[in-house]
């Protein structure tokens, strides 16, 4: 009995073992399936992510979430002819935000406004709520502003070190040196010229390394530049003028030693640089030059060979052309010699000189001196002169005394320099240039005899005529005034003038030329006149008095202006 039970138990146990083993086999198969399925899911996810990354790698990045975060590129220093710094790079901090990390945009702006009260609340709010990875909030902070913002401890705010342009001389040379934008790129003046010479390409390629950039040396003498700017600013106020300006040229090299125009602006804070009265009148303004143009008319008559110092011109009565009549401002009402035409600034006599040369000869001479062509120089802000499409007799007459064509004061100065330096026309330059380099590209435009005659006329006018206010003892100054009715809305004004004055010194061998302008000046005091001799001429004399020694011109008191006149008496 017991034996049978044992056999049954043994069989039952064997059967149970078989069942358990079968269960284990079934369970193991399902587990492996689940593992394989899980692995397949994970592989699928990784494959999807990898494919997406590869796809995105070939796409153009979307920069709409915020401005570029690159650091501004370096620029070379700009220095004057003596090495004085006119423009240089300085490091500054700029504030940015990472909107994705901003917890409370309203609180962040509220805190920020305690340091930057001028910040635009609505614009800044939209930036902080944009969800972008990077946005600029304020560029070029002061060290104090950076420190104060850091103390606010706003999460998601940060700073990047950038370069900005600093101009140690401020407004003194603003129109010549020019400006850069927020990204340190030149947008005007010599700053723009430097970019156009290849700097912008270096910056784009990342090769604009500060230590490799040599300073750009200008022809400007900062000492003389300060004198010029100071005198025209004083003249602007003294004569209650709309504008004023001046340029000092080296007549032997064509170098612009100083040039300024007011009103101007501070390039370190150029908030008003785009206002309509902020114009570089010397190179970008077009004006009728008035009687200063008689320098070219007399030179033309002499250079043509049809006139000499002994030539005489009938100025006893007005010249009538159709319904127009040409009068003299203070007429002598008699026949005048060529020197008298210049000395008394006779419109009638100048028109007779032009008539002697002829219309085509007149036009050719002005183009020969570059007066009516666009000036070639480094400064980008240069206006193109205007002239009649067809010259008629009346045009030639009026142009002879400075009406009917418009040019820039700088071009008029360059043309006058050619009448003083031996007869050579040189494109003006704002870079240092030697006399040999200047002569290599100079163009002979008038004869030596014409130059001698013009030097005589300038000296005569300083001794006996309208240039007397510009005389400086010891420096033998000569010159010519120009008082033109100002053109307003296409019509000549009877109340406002555009006044010019050209002066050269020393007249026995001119080295420098000063050309000044006074735009719509008023009499300094009641009862005084507003003609050029009373304002533009005074400004020129003050500039020469203060800067001649800086320019290396030694005073000579052994002979004054009269000694130069002997050979023409």
CATH (domain of 177): 3.90.1310.10
Structural domain contains residue 312: yes
Q: In this structure, which long-range contacts are made by residues 204-207, counting pairs with CB atoms below 8 Å and at least 24 apart in sequence? A: 206/73
Task: Give yes or no for residue 353 having a pLDDT over 50.
Answer: yes
Query: Ramachandran region of residue 527, left (φ > 0), alpha (ψ -120 to 50) or beta?
Result: left
In a shared domain, residues 337 and 355: yes
Task: Give yes or no for residue 553 having a pLDDT over 90.
Answer: yes
Q: Mind listing the pLDDT tens digit for each residue in 504-526? A: 999 999 999 999 999 999 999 99
Is 406 labeled as catalytic in the residue annotation? no
Least confident segment among 104-118, 199-213, 308-322, 396-410: 199-213
Residue 209: the pLDDT is: 58
Structural domain contains residue 310: yes
Task: Give yes or no for residue 3 having a pLDDT over 70.
Answer: no
Q: How many CB atoms lie within 10 A of CB 239?
A: 24
In a shared domain, residues 126 and 88: yes
In a shared domain, residues 175 and 293: no
Assess contact for 119 and 109: CB atoms under 8 A: yes
Q: Tokens 């032009």 correspond to what residue?
A: 354
Structural domain contains residue 32: no
In a shared domain, residues 456 and 374: yes
In a shared domain, residues 304 and 345: yes
CATH of the domain at 469: 3.40.710.10
Q: Mind listing the pLDDT tens digit for each residue in 145-197? A: 989 999 999 888 999 888 889 999 999 999 999 999 988 899 999 999 999 98
Structural domain contains residue 307: yes
Structural domain contains residue 42: no
Overall average pLDDT of the 358-377 stretch: 97
3-class state of residue 445 by DSSP: coil
Q: Mind listing the pLDDT tens digit for each residue in 219-268? A: 999 999 999 999 999 999 999 999 999 999 999 999 999 999 999 999 99
Query: pLDDT band for position 23 (50/70/90)?
Result: very low
Q: Mind listing the pLDDT tens digit for each residue in 86-110? A: 999 998 888 999 998 888 889 899 9
In a shared domain, residues 380 and 490: yes
| Burial profile 374-404: b = 16 or more Cβ within 10 angstroms, e = fewer | ebebbbbbbbebebeeebeebbbbbbbbbbb
Whole-number Å distance between alpha carbons of 325 and 338: 21
- Stated length of the chain: 569
Boundary (domain end) residue, out of 179, 201, 217: 217
Q: How many CB atoms lie within 10 A of CB 31?
A: 9
In a shared domain, residues 281 and 157: no
Query: Ramachandran region of residue 184, left (φ > 0), alpha (ψ -120 to 50) or beta?
Result: left
Assess contact for 506 and 473: CB atoms under 8 A: no
Active-site residue, from 219, 291, 295, 350? 291
Query: Looking at the 3D structure of the chain, how many domains does it have?
Result: 2
Whole-number Å distance between alpha carbons of 258 and 413: 13
In a shared domain, residues 104 and 243: no
In a shared domain, residues 408 and 470: yes
For the chain, report the end-to-end CA distance as a whole number of angstroms: 170
Structural domain contains residue 192: yes
Assess contact for 518 and 282: CB atoms under 8 A: no
Q: Domain range spanning residue 203? A: 78-217
């Amino acid at each position: 009995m017991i034996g049978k039970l044992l056999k049954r138990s043994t069989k039952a146990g064997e059967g149970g073992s078989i069942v358990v083993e079968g269960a284990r086999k079934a369970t193991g198969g399902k587990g492996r399936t689940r593992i394989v399925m899980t692995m397949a899911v994970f592989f699928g996810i990784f494959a999807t992510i990898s494919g997406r990354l590869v796809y995105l790698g070939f796409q153009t990045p979307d920069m709409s979430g915020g401005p570029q975060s690159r650091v501004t590129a370096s620029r070379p220093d700009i220095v004057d002819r003596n090495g004085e710094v006119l423009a240089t790079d300085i490091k500054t901090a700029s504030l940015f935000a990472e909107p994705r990390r901003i917890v409370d945009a309203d609180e962040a702006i509220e805190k920020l406004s305690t340091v930057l009260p001028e910040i635009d609340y609505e614009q800044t709010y939209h930036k902080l709520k944009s969800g972008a990875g990077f946005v600029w909030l304020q560029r070029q902070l002061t060290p104090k502003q950076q420190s104060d913002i850091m103390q606010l401890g706003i999460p998601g705010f940060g700073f990047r070190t950038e370069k900005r342009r600093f101009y140690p001389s401020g407004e003194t040379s603003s129109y010549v040196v020019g400006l850069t934008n927020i990204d340190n790129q030149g947008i005007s003046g010599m700053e723009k010229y430097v970019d156009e010479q290849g700097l912008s390409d270096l910056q784009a390629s990342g090769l604009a390394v500060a230590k490799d950039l040599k300073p750009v040396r200008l022809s400007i003498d900062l000492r003389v530049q300060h004198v010029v700017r100071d005198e025209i600013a004083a003249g602007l106020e003294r004569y209650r003028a709309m504008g004023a300006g001046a340029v000092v040229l080296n007549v032997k090299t064509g170098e612009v030693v100083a040039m300024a125009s007011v009103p101007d602006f501070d390039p370190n804070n150029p908030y008003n640089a785009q206002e309509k009265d902020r114009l570089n009148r010397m190179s970008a303004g077009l004006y009728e030059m008035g009687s200063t143009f008689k320098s070219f008319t007399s030179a033309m008559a002499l250079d043509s060979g049809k006139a000499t110092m002994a030539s005489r011109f009938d100025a006893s009565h007005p010249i009538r052309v159709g319904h127009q009549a040409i009068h003299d401002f203070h007429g002598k009402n008699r026949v005048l010699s060529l020197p008298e035409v210049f000395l008394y600034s006779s419109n009638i006599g100048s028109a007779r000189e032009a008539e002697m040369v002829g219309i085509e000869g007149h036009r050719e001479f002005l183009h020969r001196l570059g007066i009516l062509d666009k000036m070639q120089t480094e400064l980008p802000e240069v206006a193109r002169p205007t002239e009649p499409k067809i010259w008629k007799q009346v045009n030639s007459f009026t142009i002879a005394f400075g009406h009917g064509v418009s040019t820039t004061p700088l071009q008029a100065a360059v043309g006058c320099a050619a009448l003083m330096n031996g007869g050579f026309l040189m494109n003006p330059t704002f870079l240092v240039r030697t006399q040999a380099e200047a002569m290599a590209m100079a163009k002979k435009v008038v004869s030596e005899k014409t130059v001698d005659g013009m030097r005589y006329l300038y000296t005569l006018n300083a001794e006996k005529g309208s240039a007397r206010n510009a005389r400086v003892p010891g420096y033998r100054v000569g010159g010519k005034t120009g008082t033109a009715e100002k053109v307003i809305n296409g019509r000549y004004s009877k109340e406002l003038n555009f006044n010019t004055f050209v002066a050269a010194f020393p007249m026995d061998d001119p080295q420098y030329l000063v050309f000044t302008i006074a735009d719509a000046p008023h009499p300094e005091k009641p009862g005084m006149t507003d003609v050029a001799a009373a304002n533009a001429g005074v400004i020129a004399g003050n500039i020469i008095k203060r800067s001649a020694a800086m320019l290396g011109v030694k005073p000579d008191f052994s002979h004054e202006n009269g000694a130069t006149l002997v050979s023409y008496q």
